[in-house]
A and B are shown apart, each in its own frame.
Chain A
């Protein structure tokens, strides 16, 4: 599939060996791409629950002091902003291992125009656009990823019609898949839709050439 970049022309990706991963890696990279810690230590100081200055994976604000808060005083009665509740260290008592498994879970709906039902995929399960597309290819028998010269396209093998991968982001806007680094995409993607190219307008230059070989 060729990733259409709004600002760049397709000729930039002329190198036949370039993959989606390489293309995206040229972009701004986000620091710290590790999805889930596979380190040997069961995190203590580095876990989200501890003091706010520690490196954490959680988005929730945490202002309990190191070693545990007297949450009783803070919790009883006081109205707290729901988005940033005070979390006591190690509460709720869920095993760190279980928390780490549950954390890597971002399921989004995937719709393909013409397919009878939607699917759901866990974006956290993949490391790149390429992996995601490969997985989706398995889920939807009505499209496949073809290699055509230097480009990759998503087509319906039955009639050669092309799909454009789009997604809805946090702001509710429909975007073309592939513009932003993978991690950023995972963060902001709420759902995916593969539009028939013929319906897509204004999302960027489209090519009408049919697929001549399968990947």
Chain B
């Protein structure tokens, strides 16, 4: 029943910002569906192949901000061939032709081309914000187009992209009239930077709050930039190497002291530990610190630095900090909510400097901890139980014991009980990554207790199909399930095929499912795309149904099999 004119309802809907809430609102009645869809400005599409750009535009013609995700998560670890898909050009093309007033585009794990970037820059007059995370396929020429043509650009944020650097003058392409920049992040670029152009750009950007530099920006340029932009809130340092006795360094110290608004620090892609004391003055205000790309800082310097950062809420570091260093974190950072400890030796196994001890110390000292990514050498059930008890607020709990199938290091038992304690205690856990030696029992615990679980990553775990079934049956809210090297087969895959339409996607690689099983699934569920991903040189003329499938990726979709898959990717 509508007692109010549409305009009033429209105005009320303005206050509903969460997409989930808006999705629910649109189900109430036809009238609300219509009002909601015409007023929706921000659209999030978790799988770019679940829907087509045309249907997006048809439903939400007023879209101003679009978020798209492409490749499956395991593409980050080279489990997906590079030409698998996730091309953004068709989206940009469709939006341009429909004259959508696009202002913001956020992409993750997609293939972006220079043509696409240029098309964005020419088609959307009010374009303000481009955020690319883990994307590839473009060069600095594309960035030059964005810089040159987007007159009201506020945000250019490049995170961990593979960008081909043409060593051009893309920074020069920002016209003198461009003074609107609020956020600029080019830390992932590998080539040289026109330092003078950078300095001039910063000088004419009074609204600049976030600046993340690449390795090519040396300390003396940083000093000049900070003098121009003491209002920065978020800084990514490129190169931080200099003689601490020099005048340049002293000028830097003075400049940093004036940055009273600094809350977030990252980078130090090249660093001399002796220069670090320059940043001590701003440490007390920091809420976010990311030193995970700074292998040049030894553990002792890390701990010295962190002692100053008593307001830290988010910390990303390398495991060279060691268990003792984590102890310092625990005693210094009482506000800590998110901790990520990355391996300083990402190719190796067994060189990690952190164990269960560091994690236990953290759990004792940081009761507000709710998000964890922890690469470690070993773990015990006892430690996990203590952690579960101390930190019941985990939303994200991702543990990676570097050696696959490693058991509890003190009892040699599987780690089922430890993870079981986590899911039992942390009732709100939404994301979970498991590792170490695990039997079906851990999945029983997960299925029973992890009621809010939305994403689960499993590797080298379980005994048989029961494990996977525990999860599929028990986790009502699961959206993304990714499994590798587990003994789950067709029975697990096919027992509850309807479940997959309630999820975004399922990934299974190096498991026991067969081609025949996948074909059966695809036949039963026409609204799923069941993709078999082969590698280029794996193609054989005759593949029979009994053969195990190396990589399967299935996802729900409203638009049927995609047309841009390469030859070696089959949609059944």
Q: Which A residues form the contact surface with B (CB < 8 A)?
A: 36, 38-45, 47-50, 58, 60, 66-72, 75-76, 82, 85, 87-99, 101-103, 105, 107, 117, 119-122, 125, 135, 138-141
Contact = CB atoms under 8 A, between A and B. Distances in A.
13 contacts: A38-B191, A40-B164, A47-B78, A50-B78, A82-B350, A87-B347, A87-B349, A88-B460, A90-B78, A94-B77, A94-B346, A97-B134, A105-B296
A76 B436 CA distance: 11
A146 B137 CA distance: 44
B272 A139 contact: yes
Interface in B201-221: 215
B136 A120 contact: no
Nearest to B509: A68
Contacts, number: 166
Given A97-B160, A102-B295, A42 B241 contact: no
B357 interface: no
Contact of B343 (A92, A96, A139): A92
Contact of B78 (A44, A69, A71, A82): A44
A106 to B, nearest CB: 10
Given A68-B550, A119-B274, A139-B243, A39 B162 contact: yes
Q: Which 6 A-B pairs have the closest CB atoms?
A: A90-B77, A68-B510, A67-B550, A94-B346, A41-B82, A97-B160
B342 interface: yes
Contacts of A95: 76-77, 134, 160
B32 interface: no
Contact of A42 (B82, B347, B460): B82
B485 A70 contact: yes
A91 B404 CA distance: 8
A163 to B, nearest CB: 16
B10 interface: no
B402 to A, nearest CB: 5
Interface of chain A: mostly helix, strand, loop or mixed: loop
Please classify the interface of chain B as helix (H, G, I), strand (E, B), loop, or mixed, using the class held by over half of its residues.
loop
B256 interface: no
Contacts of B375: 92, 94
Contacts of B305: none
B165 A38 contact: yes
A105 B215 CA distance: 13
A40 B191 contact: no
Interface residues of B, number: 67
Interface string B121-141: 000000000000010111100
B188 interface: yes
A97 B162 contact: yes
B81 interface: yes
A99 B510 contact: no
A90 B342 contact: no
Interface string B483-519: 0110000000000000000000000011000000000
Given A45-B537, A87-B347, 19 more contacts: A36-B190, A38-B191, A40-B139, A40-B164, A45-B536, A50-B78, A68-B484, A69-B510, A85-B348, A89-B78, A91-B459, A92-B349, A92-B402, A94-B342, A97-B160, A97-B188, A122-B296, A125-B270, A138-B243
B245 interface: yes
Nearest to B160: A97
Contacts of A49: 78
Given A38-B164, A120-B273, A122-B270, A88 B82 contact: no
B79 A89 contact: yes
Nearest to B239: A125
Contacts of B535: 44-45, 66-67
A48 B160 CA distance: 19
Nearest to A102: B346
Contacts of B404: 71-72, 75, 88, 91
B75 interface: yes
A141 B243 contact: yes
A141 B74 CA distance: 48
A42 B136 contact: yes
A49 to B, nearest CB: 6
A96 B272 contact: no
B69 to A, nearest CB: 15
B184 to A, nearest CB: 19
Given A38-B190, A72-B485, A96 B78 contact: yes
A39 B160 contact: no
B381 interface: no
Contacts of B78: 42-44, 47, 49-50, 89-90, 96
Interface in B51-109: 74-82
Contact of B242 (A40, A89, A121, A138): A138
A1 B80 CA distance: 49
